[in-house]
Structure 1
Amino acid sequence: MTIHIACLHASASNIAYINRAFNGYDVVLTHVVDDNLIHQIRGGMSQEELSKKIIHQLQQIEQSDGDCILITCTNYIALLEELAVEFKLPIIKIDEPFFEQVARAEKPIKMLFTNEATVKGTMKRFKAICSCEQEIEVVLIPAAFEQYLAGETVKHDQKIIEYLVSQDLFEYTVAAAQLSMSNAAIVYSKLSGQAVLNPLNALQAYIEEKLKIRKKKNR
């Protein structure tokens, strides 16, 4: 059975990550991108205006023939949590599978970010959803997110990898909190042998464990 997932992004760059996560699975993806959201949040758009915008966008997406909606932007998710609104389609919030993995950590946690605007909302949601016994240190990697917004994803990934290589992190559980950081986290893991938790890998696990979607058989 094919499942149709409608994806809502705040950056077109996230499309490639989600296509990669669902590659080979019996899933049809459609993508809706609102690349103005980050700038509107930074520009001081009011909470009420942002809330109305998100509700309208999700209601528009619900008019498609999708089976569920995947939200990949942590700012979207944090804002949505403040709304007492029910939607017709199930909504998958990309941070929740990631949070579940982080909460199982057996070492102190380094939670890495590149976008300062997502830190407060993400950590508030994590603490509300998960019970975690480990100490969590939030680390902001400077300058990288601006490169991501400019489409310089190779430089963005390299800056994150350089930070990871420069640190002694083997005594910690390392978690890259944003989807945009996933590629760099995966590359560093292969280079160093140290696993870095990230939303992309967590989503791939969720696909099989919770959605019960299996990979297509080779013919």
Structure 2
Amino acid sequence: MNLDRKTKLVVLHAHHSNIDYTETALKSTNVEQIHHVDPGLIDAIKNKSTQQIEKRVKTQLEWLASAKPDAILITCTNYSLYIKESEINDIPILKIDDLFFRSLIDFPAATLCFTNPATVEGTINRLKQQPNVKADFQVEIIDHAFELLMSNKQDAYSEVIIDYIENNPPQGFIVFTQLSMHQAATHLKNKGFSVISPVDALKELEI
């Protein structure tokens, strides 16, 4: 990393609440974050073909790359599922879940928790493709939470997650797969639960 200037990182989110999490995770680094939010992709996934979605995402990535950042960070799993490239116009594309997956390599067993059912299949398939991942992962879907996030009710969203884990404590490590779950993860850690979230991996980011 060039210490003479700040590293310029363009960050693409599906929800604005994730901005604070990446800002906090990288606050001690020499990184300038430039945030963009596109909540419309979630609706596009429901109504458009895979080809149309991939075209939309590629067009957006090209636009982000036009700002000439040092790297582009994708915080949304749904975006990651439609990005095959590791770079665009010679600019690296970093996917937060790829960073996260690598942090799970040494886990003997864990429960992966989701609030968005639409991301489960793609996330699990990509996790299985990671080299050296041998853990026995169980999957839990926390119902009635994601719609609260989409309605900008972040606190209520986190409360549903917290209540679910407290009333249905999973075996072993608890893995919160979505960046939006970090607020709940922090609360549960303070109560003694073994929880990790993508923010933990983001703190190890190197550009």
Same fold (TM over 0.5): yes
Contact 1:109 1:137 in 2 (8 A): yes
> Counterpart of 1:129 in 2: which secondary structure?
coil
Distance 1:85 1:68, change over 3 A: closer
Q: Deviations over 1:17-58 (max 9, x none)?
A: 11111123211110111110011112x211111011111111
2:162–2:184 CA contact under 8 A, matched in 1:
yes
- Partner residue of 1:64 out of 52, 62, 67: 67
Aligned 8 A contact 1:98 1:197 in 2: no
Pairwise CA distance, 1:12: 1.4
Q: Which residue of 1 aligns with 2:98?
A: 96
1:103 partner amino acid: I
Q: Distance in 2 between matches of 1:191 and 1:20?
A: 21
- Runs of 4+ aligned residues of structure 1 deviating over 6 Å after TM superposition are none
**Equivalent pairs, count:** 203
CA contact (8 A) 1:102 1:197 kept: no
- Aligned residue in 2 for 1:216: none
**Does the 8 Å contact 1:5/1:68 carry over to 2?**
yes
- After superposition, the C-alpha distances for 1:150-187 in whole angstroms (9 at most, x for unaligned) are 00000100111111111233x41210001111121121
The alignment's TM-score, normalised by the length of structure 2, stands at 0.92
Cα distance between partner residues in 1 of 2:65 and 2:58: 11
Q: What do the CA deviations read for 1:92-119 (whole angstroms, capped 9, x no partner)?
A: 100012111222113x211000000000
Aligned to 1:35: 39
Q: TM-score, normalised by structure 1?
A: 0.87
* Equivalence for 2:197: 198
Q: Report the Cα offset of residue 86 of structure 1.
A: 4.7
State the alpha-carbon separation in 2 of the partners of residues 140 and 168 from structure 1.
Answer: 13
**Structure 2: gaps (5+ residues):** none
Secondary structure of the residue aligned to 1:123 is: helix
**Residue number among 2, 7, 11 corresponding to 1:3 in the alignment:** 7
Q: Residue 23 of structure 2 aligns with which residue?
A: 19
DSSP 3-state at the match of 2:104: helix
Unaligned runs of 5+ in 1: 212-219
Q: CA deviation at 1:131?
A: 3.0
The more displaced of 139-148 and 8-17 is 8-17
**Quick one: which amino acid aligns to residue 67 of structure 1?**
D
